[in-house]
Chain A
Amino acid sequence: GAVVSQHPSRVICKSGTSVKIECRSLDFQATTMFWYRQFPKQSLMLMATSNEGSKATYEQGVEKDKFLINHASLTLSTLTVTSAHPEDSSFYICSARDSLYEQYFGPGTRLTVT
């Protein structure tokens, strides 16, 4: 099946710094990627939809200036958490959609902001 990778798998950063998370589709081209956030014992919440070559679409309540998304190629999307604060600590998961419109999820990135 299709494989989606994320890097890093875990990151700890200090409050006020920025963190970049990469999402890659390894064996297929993904015109659309999605970014989710998951708090402990809660479900996945869609943050934004990323389309290759265009601006991301953010869900209501998600600050686009804080969560910068870049989808520069058909296999790579990045999420940058700018000026991170402890409340941004969460599990960030990306998914990529192939030509059959099925979404494949990455393994997630655990962000801890101290």
Chain B
Amino acid sequence: QKEVEQDPGPLSVPEGAIVSLNCTYSNSAFQYFMWYRQYSRKGPELLMYTYSSGNKEDGRFTAQVDKSSKYISLFIRDSQPSDSATYLCATTEADSWGKLQFGAGTQVVVTP
């Protein structure tokens, strides 16, 4: 069993819709939860991270973590075609973000 599970998609939404992404994880020791965006043939770009349970909002992006159910989510409001990319969730145990465990990544396509 993978430590982080993520539906690879693809997830297709019309422009302006809300994109809802999620991951589940198995290791209760994970403390930091990150979301990365990766465009084709590029390195991942950190979107946001949260520590422990709770919500965090940054512009059109909202990240949620529910440690009781080991469930993490990312919501993208007012989606744009430029949001089309692969979104990867990642977690780590240590404060130092030493060893990231990535999900498989969900491909998102926002159609005009």
Contact = CB atoms under 8 A, between A and B. Distances in A.
Contacts of B41: 91, 108, 110
Main secondary structure of the interface of B (DSSP, over half): loop
A43 B95 contact: no
Contacts, number: 50
A102 B97 contact: yes
Contact of A108 (B43, B95, B102, B103): B43
Interface in B1-57: 6, 8, 36, 41-46
Given A43-B105, A49-B99, A102-B97, A108 B42 contact: yes
A43 B46 contact: no
Most buried by B among A44, A93, A107: A44
A44 B44 contact: yes
B85 interface: no
Interface string B94-106: 0111111011110
A54 interface: no
Interface residues of A, number: 24
Contacts of A91: 41
Nearest to A41: B8
A112 B36 CA distance: 25
Main secondary structure of the interface of A (DSSP, over half): strand
B97 A106 contact: no
A110 B105 CA distance: 19
Given A107-B42, A108-B43, A101 B97 contact: yes
A57 to B, nearest CB: 10
Interface string B72-92: 000000000000000010000
Contacts of B96: 97, 101
Given A44-B88, A101-B95, A102-B97, A93 B8 contact: no
B29 to A, nearest CB: 17
Interface of A: 4, 6, 32, 34, 41-46, 49, 91, 93, 95, 97, 101-108, 110
